[in-house]
Structure 1
Amino acid sequence: MDGIKEGGSITRPPVLDGTNYPYWKARMTAFLKSVDTKTWKAILTGWTPPTQQNVAGAVVVKQEVEWTVAEKELSLDNNKALNVIFCVVNVEVFKMISSYIVAKEAWEVLETAYEGTQKVKMSRLQQLTTKWETLRMEEDETIVTYN
């Protein structure tokens, strides 16, 4: 594959350069799962900063120094996943996701950018199905000349 800058290593997944997304996604899924299951789970389930009610009764984000051990662990899982994603994209791709603090959201931005929304996927599938169903070779065509 032309767009692959690195790869073939269990410690260095390929860099996403915008041309190799299907390959990158499969390799990244395996890589994130190999980091540990909690890191992959952060991609699947997402993470939200811990909150609490202030004296006025409003819900506010907790200060990090007030986080419980469990809240710190969930944050670490998210941060590991986000760091891996940030480290394996080129500069142009990084610009799309650099403002995200939740790994799941960054992952979903990449999915949408390179795979499209569910509607786009269904439309592409319908187009390919129609093209396949209408594929016909004329009687005077040979296999060599058929395109």
Structure 2
Amino acid sequence: MSKAKYNVEGRPPYFDGTNYYFWKNKMQLFMKSQDIGMWRIITDGYFIASINQNDSTSAEKKEIDWTPEDKTKHEGTSHVKETRLYIGIWKFGLFEMNEGETIDEMYSRFITIVNEMRSLDKPYSVPDIVRMIMRCLP
């Protein structure tokens, strides 16, 4: 069995064709670490809010018409969001360029963190983003 490596880049574990059950458990843990509801989506399917039109048919609700319960089923609980927010703030604060990494690769990893924070209603200002990029360049 290979030695486990801490996944700082937020990438899923790579399956190299060996040790399937070990990889499967790592993948399940990775998915749950991204969002506890993600594993439920994989096992149960994606939630689609719908309106019952009559006894036999239903139509998809527009996002603007979702109830708070529909939003919770789609986005997860506030506790999960709060945890993801804290992790994102931590990733942003400790971000640095990896050895041997190109600027394009570094910027791609960085912008992924910034976009994730924006999706959690924690946008960073342009000066904060520029300051962080300048700080992590060699």
TM-score over 0.5 for the pair: no
Larger RCO, structure (CA 8 Å, separation 6 or more):
1
Q: Which is greater in Rg?
A: 1
Q: Structure 2 length as normaliser, TM-score?
A: 0.38
Q: Structure 1 length as normaliser, TM-score?
A: 0.36
